[in-house]
Structure 1
Amino acid sequence: MTDDVPFGARLKTARLRAGMTRPVLAGQVGKSAEWLKSVENGRLLPPRLPLLLQLAEVLGISNLADLTGDERLSTATFGKAAHEQLPEIERALASYPVVPSTDPIDVPGLVAQVKQAWELWHGTRNHRSAVATLIPGLLHDARVMVRRVDGAERRAVLAAQAQTYHLTQLYLSFQPKPELVTLTGDRAMTAAQDADNPQAMAAAAWYVNHVFRDAGQQHEARVQLAHDTASLLRPDRDRGDLVMYGLLHLAMALSHAKVGHDGDAWRHWDVADRAAMALPTGYSHPWLIFGRGMVDAYAITMLVDLMKPGDAARQADQLHLGSMASATRRAFHTIEMARAFHQNREPVAAVHLLRKAEQHSTETARFNLFTRAAVSDLAENGGATVRDDARELSQRLGLNLP
């Protein structure tokens, strides 16, 4: 858009591109549909920074200047923050090793290293920093090795390569490089398809859904991808297929909830719920973490997206994340619980949960857009105790609040 396009028109265009109605978008930022209509029509002034950040997060906008027209308001400053090792990851993705390797071929070794990287991602508070040192080498080794093997070994390398791209995509999430998130999602799906492995394709479809759902794009396409990939699985015969089948229906549920399709959302959540119930008690997938706890936790995300903050807060009160086998996931779902209470106008509970999320995983909280927007909002608009707690948390997260 040109610089002279008013804020309201920019906001309306972004909302329509995301496939959201006014009630859906307004509800997700705690406002009414009439308020949003007045902003879009120019009858109200643009909101202040904390609410701008929330709108950008819901709409999947990576640069506030795209929403405001003001280049001074970049989400690199106020929203998405760049991890210190992001340049190394960029270089690794842009590197294409062409010199033939003479190193010994060790497919089991590569698979073991990828497994170790996932354990670091889920098991450390500073998970981005932990895996950033491993990702460049894993990307290089998988690219080199896949050209030197064939048959079952090649399929194993391709599956490991897809997992490495998934991990890279997660590293890049909430970073100011949305084009790289899309790139890694596409490369992961290509590797999974080349491996001719339905479970690898299902994992790739799960992450592709995240890419477009977070960007507020391609609702029909991402749901269709998950549906088509689920049809390749045999959940009644294989536990791995059952996990992936449930995961893909959870992806479809989240996509429908994001655009306000209540009935479709819960229909697919019920399928994911039945899949989780069919798994052994306490089971969770080793790197996707699908299981009973994950399905229950994502119900909160859906309720918030469907503008049911009271139901979301009640669900959050009943959720116990202590047994979830991932510090990163515990932090993320605790932030989603905070989002429920923030939407329900319970700032004390919201700031308490955000502090708890930071204790689970510092980097999950530090780079999460809702956390950054909510801390800014609570530091400005909360009561005295809430403001103090929010400002203390902002310092721990390295935010530069005015």
Structure 2
Amino acid sequence: MPAHADITSDDYTLTFGQRVRRARERNGQTRAVVGGLVGRSTEWVKAIENSRLKTPRLPLLLRLADVLGVHDIAELTGDERVLAASYTKSAHGALPAVRDALTTYRLGDSDEEPDDAADLLARVREAWRLWHASGGHRTRIAVLLPDLLGDLQHAARALDGMDRRRVLVGLVEAYHLAQLYLSFQPAPELVMLTGDRSMSAAQDADSPLAIAGAAWYMNHVFRDAGERHEARVDLAMKAARLLRPDDSPEHLARWGLLHLAASLSYAKIGQRGSAERFWDQADDAAKRLGGGYTHPYLIFGRGMVDAYAITMNADLVRGGAAVDVASRVDLMSLPSATRRSFHMIESARAYSLQGEQVAVVHLLKKALAISPETARFNLFARSAVTELDASRNAVVREDVRYLKRELGVLSAA
């Protein structure tokens, strides 16, 4: 997910090119990186920014907004009538209920007996199982989250000692679920809210493991908030230093996860050497854990590290390398339908860099079949289908129509 740039301004005299440049520079992206990710040259990006080229047609404009992390095309065009969300971002039906659960404070329940800590943690584990299972994972979690968050918050206030710390760790994980539910939803302020709350609860619990998990998810939050890569890497490495990777698989897995976060942050801004160096450290952690290890809910392990090599190379605009990795990684071995679908979409993104439309359509259909609610709310999947529809490729025309219908993508004007 790219850094979402808030470039709204009272200065309505800014040109389209000036808005593009400001978003790109805020993200720390080079022209070469942006050009590669939208399938254009460095000179094309320069010409756009210098207003030598006009605003591109809608499919390419949508791709550019996605790469720059802009939620609303109006932030680039200055036209309030054009909304990127109409084409690339769709709200889940239960978003209002989840929003209420996160912004409603349960007051006056101090006399109520809290649920047992062990029972609450069992509910958190069940919620994670449902998130990673096949089918409507967002819908299932949206039903559970309001009561789960409320009961954990009440128990954290009412209990003390070790039970309180255990409940706080469970609350951290529940906030992670909320963050995942909110990913690719038109509610960036809620993503920031849950990220901050998860880190606060982890620190309150005084748990290095919980802090590490919160730092992994806060890296995604920082990208959404437009924080530069230095802040993201600094957070990941500070959390990693709290861990003891030689002591247990749990510590080693989270240590590897944080180095993977740093790798992805560097890849997003085109720093190949740093991206590969941190990926190598994550890879080493996965090797030490063994081929049969996968973290029960963070899913860190051999399969996840290999799959993220697709994302790393795609973000580095190394389409050939990304496709090479995608052709060798067995995504179906990942014990999470949501992860399998997400990385299948990332494989499609790799093939799109090579202009292989048939492969892109094939992989998007597979991702949709594996986890419909992952594909329907994925920005690349939605923008790619819009672009494929505009290309009028007869070979994939019927499949693209199917994907448009299933993803709920509107036709480009």
Which of 63, 66, 72 is the equivalent residue of 1:54? 63
CA distance in 2 between counterparts of 1:382 and 1:210 reads 35
Q: Does 1:238 align with 2:253?
A: no
- The residue number in structure 1 matching 2:3 is none
1:168-214 deviation per Cα after TM superposition (whole angstroms, max 9, x unaligned):
01111101111111111110000011111001000000001112234
Q: Does 1:94 align with 2:103?
A: yes
- The residue number in structure 1 matching 2:139 is 129
- The residue number in structure 2 matching 1:44 is 53
Contact 1:121-1:128 within 8 A present in 2 as well: yes
SS at match of 2:332: coil
- The residue number in structure 2 matching 1:69 is 78
- The residue number in structure 1 matching 2:123 is 113
Q: Does 1:85 align with 2:88?
A: no
C-alpha displacement of 1:104: 4.6
SS at match of 1:42: coil
Question: Where does structure 1 lack aligned partners over 5 or more consecutive residues?
Answer: none
| Structure 1 residues 297-336: aligned runs within 5 Å | 297-336=307-346
C-alpha displacement of 1:76: 2.5
Contact 2:114-2:151 within 8 A present in 1 as well: no
Contact 1:125-1:328 within 8 A present in 2 as well: no
- The residue number in structure 2 matching 1:258 is 268
Q: Does 1:203 align with 2:210?
A: no
CA distance in 2 between counterparts of 1:233 and 1:103 reads 35
2:99 counterpart letter in structure 1: E
SS at match of 1:57: helix
Contact 2:88-2:383 within 8 A present in 1 as well: yes
Contact 1:347-1:382 within 8 A present in 2 as well: no
Aligned length: 402
1:143-185 deviation per Cα after TM superposition (whole angstroms, max 9, x unaligned):
1111111111011111010111110011111011111111111
Question: For the structure 1 residues 160 and 321, does the alpha-carbon distance in structure 2 shift closer, same or farther, using more than 3 Å as the test?
Answer: same
C-alpha displacement of 1:63: 1.4
CA distance in 1 between counterparts of 2:196 and 2:90 reads 23
CA distance in 2 between counterparts of 1:216 and 1:267 reads 24
1:102-160 deviation per Cα after TM superposition (whole angstroms, max 9, x unaligned):
23531111101111111111003211101000010111111111111111101111101
CA distance in 2 between counterparts of 1:368 and 1:219 reads 23
- The residue number in structure 2 matching 1:184 is 194
- The residue number in structure 1 matching 2:155 is 145
CA distance in 1 between counterparts of 2:338 and 2:202 reads 25
CA distance in 2 between counterparts of 1:314 and 1:153 reads 48
1:34-85 deviation per Cα after TM superposition (whole angstroms, max 9, x unaligned):
0010011111111111122212222221111111111111122122111100
- The residue number in structure 2 matching 1:3 is 12
Which of 273, 279, 298 is the equivalent residue of 1:288? 298
1:308 counterpart letter in structure 2: R
| Structure 1 residues 7-46: aligned runs within 5 Å | 7-46=16-55
Contact 2:203-2:211 within 8 A present in 1 as well: yes
1:12-38 deviation per Cα after TM superposition (whole angstroms, max 9, x unaligned):
000001011100111111110000100
Contact 2:188-2:224 within 8 A present in 1 as well: no
C-alpha displacement of 1:387: 2.6
Question: For the structure 1 residues 30 and 101, does the alpha-carbon distance in structure 2 shift closer, same or farther, using more than 3 Å as the test?
Answer: farther
C-alpha displacement of 1:219: 1.0
2:46 counterpart letter in structure 1: K
RMSD: 1.1
C-alpha displacement of 1:390: 1.2
C-alpha displacement of 1:229: 0.7
CA distance in 2 between counterparts of 1:207 and 1:47 reads 34
Which of 379, 396, 399 is the equivalent residue of 2:409? 399
| Structure 1 residues 216-235: aligned runs within 5 Å | 216-235=226-245
2:68 counterpart letter in structure 1: L
2:295 counterpart letter in structure 1: H
C-alpha displacement of 1:332: 0.2
Which of 286, 308, 333 is the equivalent residue of 1:276? 286
Q: TM-score, structure 1 length as denominator?
A: 0.98
Moved over 6 A (4+): none
Question: For the structure 1 residues 380 and 274, does the alpha-carbon distance in structure 2 shift closer, same or farther, using more than 3 Å as the test?
Answer: same
C-alpha displacement of 1:280: 3.1
1:324-352 deviation per Cα after TM superposition (whole angstroms, max 9, x unaligned):
00000000000000000001111100110
Contact 1:338-1:349 within 8 A present in 2 as well: yes
CA distance in 1 between counterparts of 2:53 and 2:251 reads 51
C-alpha displacement of 1:384: 0.3
SS at match of 1:147: helix
Question: For the structure 1 residues 15 and 135, does the alpha-carbon distance in structure 2 shift closer, same or farther, using more than 3 Å as the test?
Answer: same
1:260 counterpart letter in structure 2: G
CA distance in 1 between counterparts of 2:371 and 2:270 reads 30
C-alpha displacement of 1:382: 4.8
Structure 1 stretch displaced more, 335-344 or 390-399 = 390-399
- The residue number in structure 2 matching 1:173 is 183
SS at match of 2:244: coil
Percent sequence identity is: 54
Contact 1:59-1:215 within 8 A present in 2 as well: no
